[in-house]
Homo-oligomer: A and B are copies of this chain.
């Protein structure tokens, strides 16, 4: 009956198991591996990536896809086939030489960037970066051509890798709305915050006690240590498979908030992965949705749960116990400290309010770059103009804290940035609906009960995998598509009215 579809399921299961290997080899590389493992691990990962690519793009897969489309499939299987087809098209539309050339150019540019950034060496960087842009434009054009009309511009075709279903036009509209309101709102919030007292966190905080506290936080947020681990890495991240989620945070001994925020954030990512539909495990349709959804889950756990006054009040009691030095600070004082708004140079250090402007700036530049409306050498001026206009920050001559600060562009990962902010919009919109359906949410948070949030997310997001198109899923969950008004209202409520 559906033998071609079943052959596809077998092949995609094989690909899934190769990805399982790469997932945990990657985790090990970041968390456990001694330095001597670098070269052998890089060789192994490269070979597994080649093998996976070959198995996905082999000619038999194309034939099975064609023939499966004529088989008698259930609605679920048809959706599953649609996702298989997308994975296949995404991988098979580029010539091997371009992939190879871009991988090499990206690795060279990224490697040199690590030093060039420290040296504020824009011209040195530009020498490598031009090639990355050139190859990324080629990639984008080929992806657009293969999209069967789904992508209006080359940049849309790169967005499709991270934000599939949210087009350039749609994202642009959301961002225009934020741009129209946020810069002025930032100024009003700064003005407002001048009138409140804010503590400075100082002291030395025992890292092993911080680890106990972070483990408690993860558990309170629903992280199950029977199906996951919390470890330490240079940069916080989350990875794993159903049944085995690995999250990482990092500790400083002069501060404790960043590790907690990172733990909450990564617990959101891991919770999503843990809640994916078991019956589709191993197939593309059972995977997590685009990064705009993934980031919405992590931001919901970090900004909507952990940073809420009610949860923070509950959590601070535990912190006072585990880190006795913190007893001098009330939960209200800590909350004010966590929610300071301040325009700055660096995206990853930005607060919830100014963060979108960092993203919009990058989005505007990278979309123009990929669509050949801007050249690489024009970036510093554009960066400075936008930073001045959006956040009042001067970056002239300061490349290292300006356009050279991020790793994303160095290896040609154009199209990724928007998901941070669309994710933020989605997270607020989801949480708005949850609050409406649970009027006692603050009482529950104040008791440390967040299970109703997980239940809602499980029902409306996690269990669906990639079954629905992304905006259909958001509409079904919240009654409308991604709408920036919820985010703007949240910013006013939290930062001007200090409501929650």
Q: Which residue numbers of A lie inside 8 Å of B, CB to CB?
A: 13-14, 17-18, 20-22, 24-25, 28, 32-41, 43-44, 47-48, 51, 224-229, 241-244
Contact = CB atoms under 8 A, between A and B. Distances in A.
Q: Counting chain B CB atoms within 10 Å of each CB, which of A39, A47, A51 scores highest?
A: A47
A418 B37 CA distance: 33
Contacts of A18: 48, 51
Contacts of A242: 40
A229 B51 CA distance: 29
Contacts of A37: 227, 241, 243-244
B21 A48 contact: yes
12 contacts: A13-B47, A17-B43, A17-B44, A17-B47, A21-B21, A25-B25, A34-B227, A36-B244, A37-B244, A38-B243, A39-B243, A40-B244
Nearest to A54: B14
Q: Is the interface of A mostly helix, strand, loop or mixed?
A: helix
B241 A40 contact: yes
A43 B37 CA distance: 25
Contacts of A32: 32, 229
B25 A21 contact: yes
Contacts of A44: 17, 20-21
Contacts of A48: 17-18, 21
A229 B34 contact: yes
Contact of A33 (B38, B41, B43, B244): B244
A310 to B, nearest CB: 30
A241 B226 CA distance: 29
Nearest to A41: B244
Nearest to A243: B36
A36 B34 CA distance: 26
A286 to B, nearest CB: 13
B229 A36 contact: no
A14 B51 contact: yes
A243 B48 CA distance: 19
Contacts of A41: 20, 244
A242 B14 CA distance: 27
Nearest to A55: B51
A226 B36 contact: yes
Contacts of A224: 36
Q: Counting chain B CB atoms within 10 Å of each CB, which of A20, A22, A224 scores highest?
A: A20
Contacts of A24: 24-25, 28
Nearest to A13: B47
A271 to B, nearest CB: 14
Contacts of A226: 34-36
Contacts of A28: 24, 28
A41 B16 CA distance: 12
Contacts of A227: 34-37
